[in-house]
A and B are shown apart, each in its own frame.
Chain A
Amino acid sequence: MNQTLPLFKGTLDLLILKALSVEPMHGYGLALWMERGSKGEIVVEDSAIYQALRRLEGRRLVEAEWGKTDNNRRARFYTLTAAGRRQLRDEAEVWMRYVEWVGRLLEAGDGVPA
Chain B
Amino acid sequence: MPGERGPRGIPWRTRSQRRRETEQEIEAHLQMRIDDLILRGLSPEAAREQAIARFGDLGRARADIEAAARQRDRRLEWTDWFGRLRRDLVLAGRRMRSHPGHSLLVVLIFAFGIGLTTVMYSLVDHVLLRALPFPEDDRLVALESVPEDGDSFPWVSMGNWYDWREENRTLESTGLYGAVQREATIATPEGAFTVPGVTVSGAFFATLRPSLVAGVAPSEAAVQAGETVVVVSEGFWRRVLGGVTPIGGALTVDGVPREVVAVVRSGHEMPEGVELWIPRPYGSETGGARNNINYRSVARLAPDVTAEQARADLATVAAGIRERDPEAIYSWGVGVRPLRETMIGDAGSYLGMLMGAVLLVLLVACANLAALGFARGRERARDVAVRLSIGASPGRIVRQLLTEDLALAGLGGLLGIGLAWLGSGPLVELIGGTIPRLRDAPMDARVLGAGFLASVLAGTIAGLPPALASARRGGARLTASFRPVRRGRTLPGAVLVGSQIAVTVVLLTGSALLLMSLRSLTGRDLGYDPTPVVTADVTLVSPQYRGDPGLDRVIAYWDRVLDELEAGPDNRSVGLGNWIPTGGGGASFIEIPGGPEDAGAGYRLVSENYFETLRIPLLGGRAIAREDRAGSAPVAVINKAMADEFWPGVDPIGQRVRAPSMEGYWFDGEAPWRTVVGVVGNIRHGGFDSDTRSEMYVPHRQMPWMARSMTAVVRVGADPNARMEDIRTRVAGVDPDLAVNVATLENRLGRGLRQRRLISSLLVTFAVSALVLASLGVYSVLSFAVQRRTREVAIRSALGASRGGIVGLVVAGALRVVLAGTAIGVLLAIAARGVLDALLVDISSLHPLAYASAGAFLLTVVLAAALVPAQRAARSNPVDALRES
A73 within 8 A of B: yes
Q: Is B69 an interface residue (CB 8 A)?
A: yes
Residues of chain B with a CB closer than 8 A to A73's CB:
28, 31-32
**B33 on the A face (CB < 8 A):** yes
Binds B, one of A16-24, A59-67, A84-92, A101-109: A59-67
- A63 contacts across to B, CB distance below 8 A: 7
Contacts of A75 in B (CB 8 A): 25, 28-29, 32
Contact B35 A27 (CB under 8 A): no
| A-B pairs with lowest CB-CB distance, top 6 | A47-B61, A58-B72, A45-B56, A54-B68, A58-B75, A47-B56
Q: Collect the chain A residues with CB atoms within 8 Å of residue B72's CB.
A: 54-55, 57-58
Determine if B4 is an interface residue (Cβ-Cβ < 8 Å). yes
Tell me the complex Cα distance, A58–B71, Å.
7
Chain A residue with minimal CB distance to B60? A47
Q: Taking A54-B68, A60-B79, A64-B4 as given, write out 18 further A-B residue pairs in contact, using a Cβ cutoff of 8 Å, ordered by the A residue number.
A: A26-B29, A31-B29, A45-B54, A46-B54, A46-B61, A47-B64, A50-B61, A51-B65, A51-B68, A58-B76, A59-B75, A65-B4, A66-B4, A69-B32, A71-B35, A73-B32, A75-B25, A75-B28
Closest-by-CB residue of A relative to B83 is A60
CB-defined interface of A38-55 with B at 8 Å, one 1/0 digit per residue?
000000011110110011
Chain A minimum-CB-distance residue to B18: A54
Question: Any chain A CB within 8 A of the CB of B876?
Answer: no
Chain A residues near B25 (CB-CB < 8 A): 27, 50, 75-76
Check A28 for interface membership: any CB of B closer than 8 A: yes
Contact A51 B4 (CB under 8 A): no
Binary contact readout B77-105 vs A (1 if CB under 8 angstroms, 0 otherwise): 00100000000000000000000000000
| Chain A residues within 8 Å of B55, by CB | 45-47
Contact residues in A for B68 (Cβ distance below 8 Å):
50-51, 54-55
Once bound together, how far apart are the Cα atoms of A45 and B64, in whole Å?
12
B1: which A residues are within 8 A, CB to CB?
66
Give chain B residues whose Cβ lies under 8 Å from the Cβ of A51.
64-65, 68
A76 to B55, CA, bound (A): 17
Given A51-B65, A54-B69, A74-B24, A27 and B29 touching (CB < 8 A)? yes
Interface residues of A (CB under 8 A from B): 26-28, 31, 45-48, 50-51, 54-55, 57-60, 63-66, 69, 71, 73-76, 81
In chain B, positions 142-164 with a C-beta closer than 8 Å to chain A are none
Query: Closest residue of chain B to A65, judged by CB?
Result: B4
Q: Which residues of A contact B73 (CB under 8 A)?
A: 58
A94 to chain B minimum Cβ distance, whole angstroms, is 23
B52: nearest chain-A partner, CB-CB: A46
Q: Which residue of B lies closest to A69 (CB)?
A: B32
Interface size on B, as a range, is: 20 to 34
Residue of B nearest to A46 (CB): B55
Partner of A46, one of B22, B29, B69, B71: B29
Q: How far is the CB of B284 from chain A (nearest CB, A)?
A: 80
B-side contacts of A57, CB under 8 Å: 72, 76
B26 within 8 A of A: yes
Nearest-CB residue, chain A, relative to B11: A57
Known: A27-B25, A58-B72, A76-B28. A46 touches B56 (CB 8 A): yes
Question: Could you tell me the distance between the alpha carbons of A27 and B350 in the complex, rounded to whole angstroms?
Answer: 71
Q: Which of B832-858 contact A (CB under 8 A)?
A: none
Inter-chain contact B75/A48, CB cutoff 8 Å: no
A52 to chain B, nearest CB (A): 8
A-chain residues with CB within 8 Å of residue B29 when the two chains form the complex:
26-28, 31, 46, 50, 75
Measured CB to CB, the nearest residue on chain A to B27 is A74
Report Cα–Cα, A75/B60, bound state, in Å.
22
In the assembled complex, the CB of A31 is this many whole angstroms from the nearest CB of chain B, namely 8
Q: What are 20 A-B interface contacts by the 8 Å CB criterion?
A: A46-B29, A46-B54, A46-B56, A47-B26, A47-B56, A47-B65, A50-B25, A50-B61, A50-B68, A55-B71, A58-B71, A60-B76, A60-B79, A64-B4, A65-B4, A66-B4, A69-B32, A73-B32, A75-B28, A81-B7
